[in-house]
Structure 1
Amino acid sequence: MKILVLGATGRVGSHIVSLALQDGHRVTALVRTPNKVEIKDTNLDITHGNVLNQQDIESVMSEIDIVISALNTDGTNTLTESMRMILETMKKANVKRIITVGTAGILQSRLNPHLLRYQSSESKQKTTFAAQEHHKVFDMLSQSDVDWTIVCPTYLPDGEYTGVYRTERNFLPDGGTKISVADTAEFTYQQSVCNEYLQSRVGIAY
């Protein structure tokens, strides 16, 4: 399988790259700073570019089977601006599958089921900017014709892989308060060979 990883130099993205390479897949990483990629592997193609540049995205989409995006907001609208171009380019290249890493804020609220968590009293976040950006991406994916999955972790500390966690469609598992970067990356990567959560958000927590 040929996988395009966006956000490959980030905490979750770098783990996803490692997992895919361990399984022998061909991985392409589009990164602004290539020297930040510490992994060396003959199956890893590192392309210098920016997800905000349509031509850069088009240059790495050829013959791709699946897109995995671990991009974050960086306090800007990078997430939403890039997703628009990613979806356009996927359509041109006939790429049907995308998995993204979102936030638990865009899952449904248990207290107010007609609201998302970030819109309800469930959220303890002082600012909602990141959640709003992820919400816009959720809307874009929902309105697209691709096979999408949004993995929505709660508090995301560094930590070892355990393989023991809970997931739930559209909701954060009851009482969940955290999930490690490594476990989030592993679950996200596994969605590349799993159809259980197509066209769904999925909450993940211990």
Structure 2
Amino acid sequence: MKVALFGATGRVGQLVHQKLGDANVEVTALVRDPSRLHSPAKTIVGDARNYEKIVETLQDADAVISCLSTDKSDVLSDVTPKLIRAMKHAHLQRIITIGTAGILQSREEPRKLRFQTDESKRGLTRASLEHEKAWQALLLSNLDWTIVCPTYLPDGEEKGTYRVEENFLPLDGKLISTADTANFVCEVFKKQLHSKKRVGISY
């Protein structure tokens, strides 16, 4: 399998990149600064906002993994529609992305998302709004998508044991390490899990 990887120099993306390499998965990563990658791989140097660079990154890929963050801007709402268009043009179906627990359903008010209720403890909703726009674009795309939605995401070692739940954050979930989030992303990819679902993950 060949994977087109976006966000490979981020906190989770670097770990996903390393795990895929360790599993002998062929990776093409779109990055602005290749020196930030900790393991060798095929790289396309450029910005994910550039449609032509997205197309180049998808060439010969079998699936897409995006670990792009909001980057305190509109990067997700800008890039996601371009990525969807490029995937359709390349006849690619499978995409796994990193979201946020804010776009999971609220347990207290199931018709609302967590960031729209007091269930989310974060005072700022800008990042969740960006992730919601990306999710809505995927919903309308007919692609085979999965959005991995971690809660509080500190750096930390891989424990290998955690809880996951489709469309909701596991009950009383407080945090999940970057390493275990990366591990789960790779499991979803390898085992083709959680098609067209948002998946909450926490300890």
Q: How big is each residue's C-alpha offset from its partner over 1:85-132, in whole Å with a ceiling of 9 and x where there is no partner?
A: 000000000111000000000000001101000001101111100000
- Once the two structures are TM-superposed, the CA of residue 145 in structure 1 deviates from its matched residue by 1.2
TM-score w.r.t. the length of structure 1 is 0.97
| Map of 1:196 onto structure 2 | 193
| Aligned partner of residue 28 in structure 2, secondary structure | strand
- 1:181 and 2:197 are equivalent in the alignment: no
Q: Structure 1 regions of 5+ residues with no counterpart?
A: none
- 1:60 and 2:85 are equivalent in the alignment: no
Paired AA for residue 47 in structure 2:
N
Q: Structure 2 regions of 5+ residues with no counterpart?
A: none
| Aligned partner of residue 48 in structure 2, secondary structure | coil
* Equivalences for residues 104-183 of structure 1 within 5 A: 104-183=101-180
Task: Choose 188-197 or 62-71, whichever is displaced more.
Answer: 188-197
In structure 2, distance between residues paired with 1:196 and 1:65 = 16
State the Cα RMSD in Å. Answer: 0.7
| Map of 2:13 onto structure 1 | 13
- 1:81 and 2:85 are equivalent in the alignment: no
Task: Choose 187-196 or 116-125, whichever is displaced more.
Answer: 187-196
| Aligned partner of residue 149 in structure 1, secondary structure | strand
In structure 1, distance between residues paired with 2:51 and 2:85 = 9
| Map of 2:26 onto structure 1 | 26
Paired AA for residue 96 in structure 1:
Q
Paired AA for residue 75 in structure 1:
K
| Aligned partner of residue 135 in structure 2, secondary structure | helix
Runs (4 or more) in structure 1 with deviation over 3 Å come to none
- Once the two structures are TM-superposed, the CA of residue 196 in structure 1 deviates from its matched residue by 3.2
| Aligned partner of residue 152 in structure 1, secondary structure | strand
| Aligned partner of residue 18 in structure 1, secondary structure | helix
In structure 1, distance between residues paired with 2:178 and 2:137 = 25
In structure 1, distance between residues paired with 2:106 and 2:156 = 27
| Aligned partner of residue 59 in structure 1, secondary structure | helix
Are 2:168 and 2:199, in contact at CA under 8 Å, matched by a contact in 1? yes
- Once the two structures are TM-superposed, the CA of residue 36 in structure 1 deviates from its matched residue by 1.2
TM-score w.r.t. the length of structure 2 is 0.98
Identity %: 45
Paired AA for residue 46 in structure 2:
G
In structure 2, distance between residues paired with 1:57 and 1:186 = 25
Count of aligned residue pairs for this structure pair = 203
In structure 2, distance between residues paired with 1:25 and 1:193 = 10
In structure 2, distance between residues paired with 1:158 and 1:198 = 27
- Once the two structures are TM-superposed, the CA of residue 63 in structure 1 deviates from its matched residue by 1.0
In structure 1, distance between residues paired with 2:187 and 2:4 = 15
Paired AA for residue 111 in structure 2:
H
- Once the two structures are TM-superposed, the CA of residue 39 in structure 1 deviates from its matched residue by 1.3
